[in-house]
């Protein structure tokens, strides 16, 4: 099982784009996405210093454009990707890269959204002096208790040994004066308290724009930052990405889902290294590949072929299939079980895990062809539950 991941803000370094732009095809495609974004991304990825590319308005479109064009270098024939990739996930702004790679939105839509996302988040950050601090090591429960005590948000939960706190400068200073036991605090060079209530104005702006974005159900399962659930309904992918601007990144739950899927290989798109580093600590025995420069492309393709087995969504179009969002026990809805035709949005049951109980609906509806599970069955993330035939189709 191969999972492709896309990094979030902070992964960029000065000059990281230079070797990629030596390839004329890459440079041409990159120039197109930079034009859509209205930002001179080639300059910022090759000549600008670390402080300049730290700017949210620059860093976010720079990361998304790089990931999307590098994906075309990795899979020159995009259909090959659908035969190999089992799931995709992106950390924070990397979710836009993942969504476009899975064909839920177009690359051009991703660039417009990321441009507006960066601007709106920068404006929200400027309203109040806020920041973020990484907490390394320590006891998880003690750390969460300390954050609650000081009114801080665990904005990034990246797995064992790494939680990022976010809030006002005063709250972060109070945490520094009263740190959790056996934990090391590292203030981050970011513009504000991302993924907290301080970003609510940015959510409002993106929500208004998202109304006009046409979406498709992804060709590859998308693992959501919100809760680690598998998402295969296009509007839900977009809605979650917008809301996630002001809610914590639960990368720890994304890693749990990857484990539940049976991942054997994780490849991180450039500028790579951050997410593969986390995966090495959290998912022992899973191979990782950090794609940093174009001279690694042949090795990266070999890595994909070694671990790739494709997705059930590619062989069964998403409008005919409803899949499980998470690992757990499936409970069949008695009303749905008695029907031959399901209306769009009709509930088919729920999946109960140790953490919560998730309702599952037939987003597009349709004629019931066959149930692929029974009441009480154990299911995995992305496992098909029911096959539906579109209403009115022959």
Residues identified as active-site: 92, 195
The answer to whether 348 and 339 have CB atoms below 8 angstroms apart is no
Exposed e or buried b for every residue in 224-259, given b needs 16+ CB within 10 A? bbbbbbbbbbbebbbbbbbebbbbbbbbbbbbbbbe
- Looking only at the bridges linking them, the beta strands covering 130-137 and 357-362 are unpaired
- List strands edge to edge, sheet with 85-90: 230-231, 222-223, 85-90, 2-6, 265-268, 287-290
Q: Cβ-count burial of 23 within 10 angstroms (0-12 exposed, 13-18 middle, 19+ buried)?
A: middle
* Cβ contacts of 152 within 8 Å, gap of 6 or more: 165, 166, 167, 171, 172, 175
Peptide bond between residue 4 and the one before it cis (omega within 30 degrees of 0): no
The answer to whether 35 and 119 have CB atoms below 8 angstroms apart is no
Q: Compute the C-alpha angle 154/159/164, nearest 5°.
A: 30
Classified as helix, coil or strand, 161 is coil
Q: How many Cβ atoms are within 10 Å of 326's Cβ, its own excluded?
A: 25
- Looking only at the bridges linking them, the beta strands covering 222-223 and 162-168 are unpaired
Q: Cβ-count burial of 214 within 10 angstroms (0-12 exposed, 13-18 middle, 19+ buried)?
A: exposed
The answer to whether 386 and 371 have CB atoms below 8 angstroms apart is yes
What is the rounded distance in angstroms from the CA atom of residue 27 to the CA atom of residue 46? 12
The answer to whether 54 and 60 have CB atoms below 8 angstroms apart is no
């Amino acid at each position: 099982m191969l999972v492709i991941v896309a990094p979030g803000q902070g992964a960029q370094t000065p000059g990281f784009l230079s070797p990629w732009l030596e390839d004329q095809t890459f440079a041409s495609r990159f120039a197109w996405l930079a034009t859509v974004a209205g930002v001179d991304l080639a300059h910022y990825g090759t000549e600008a210093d670390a402080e300049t590319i730290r700017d949210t308005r620059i860093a976010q479109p720079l990361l998304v454009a790089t990931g999307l064009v590098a994906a075309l270098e990795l899979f020159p024939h995009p259909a090959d990707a659908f035969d190999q990739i089992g799931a995709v996930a992106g950390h924070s702004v990397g979710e836009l890269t993942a969504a476009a790679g899975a064909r839920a939105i177009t690359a051009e839509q991703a660039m417009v959204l990321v441009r507006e996302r960066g601007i709106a988040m920068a404006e929200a950050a400027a309203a109040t002096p806020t920041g973020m601090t990484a907490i390394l090591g320590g006891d998880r429960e003690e750390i969460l208790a300390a954050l609650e005590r000081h009114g801080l948000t665990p904005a990034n939960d990246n797995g064992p040994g790494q939680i990022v706190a976010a809030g006002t400068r005063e709250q972060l200073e109070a945490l520094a004066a009263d740190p959790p036991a056996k934990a090391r605090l590292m203030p981050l060079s970011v513009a504000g308290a991302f993924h907290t209530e301080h970003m609510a104005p940015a959510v409002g702006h993106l929500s208004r724009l998202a109304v006009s974005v046409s979406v498709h159900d992804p060709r590859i399962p998308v693992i959501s930052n919100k809760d680690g659930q598998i998402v295969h309904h296009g509007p839900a992918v977009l809605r979650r990405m917008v809301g996630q601007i002001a809610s914590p990144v639960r990368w720890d739950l994304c890693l749990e889902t990857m484990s539940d899927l049976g991942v054997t290989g994780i490849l991180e798109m450039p500028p790579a290294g951050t997410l593969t580093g986390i995966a090495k600590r959290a998912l022992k025995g899973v191979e990782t590949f950090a794609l940093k420069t174009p001279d690694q492309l042949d090795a990266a393709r070999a890595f994909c072929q070694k671990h790739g087995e494709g997705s059930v969504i590619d062989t069964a179009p998403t409008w005919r299939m409803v899949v499980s969002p998470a690992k757990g026990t499936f409970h069949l809805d008695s009303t749905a079980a008695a029907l031959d035709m399901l209306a769009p949005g009709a509930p088919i049951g729920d999946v109960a895990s140790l953490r919560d109980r998730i309702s599952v609906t037939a987003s597009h509806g349709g004629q019931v062809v066959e149930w692929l599970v029974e009441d009480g069955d154990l299911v995995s993330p992305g496992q098909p539950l029911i096959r539906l035939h579109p209403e009115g189709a022959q």
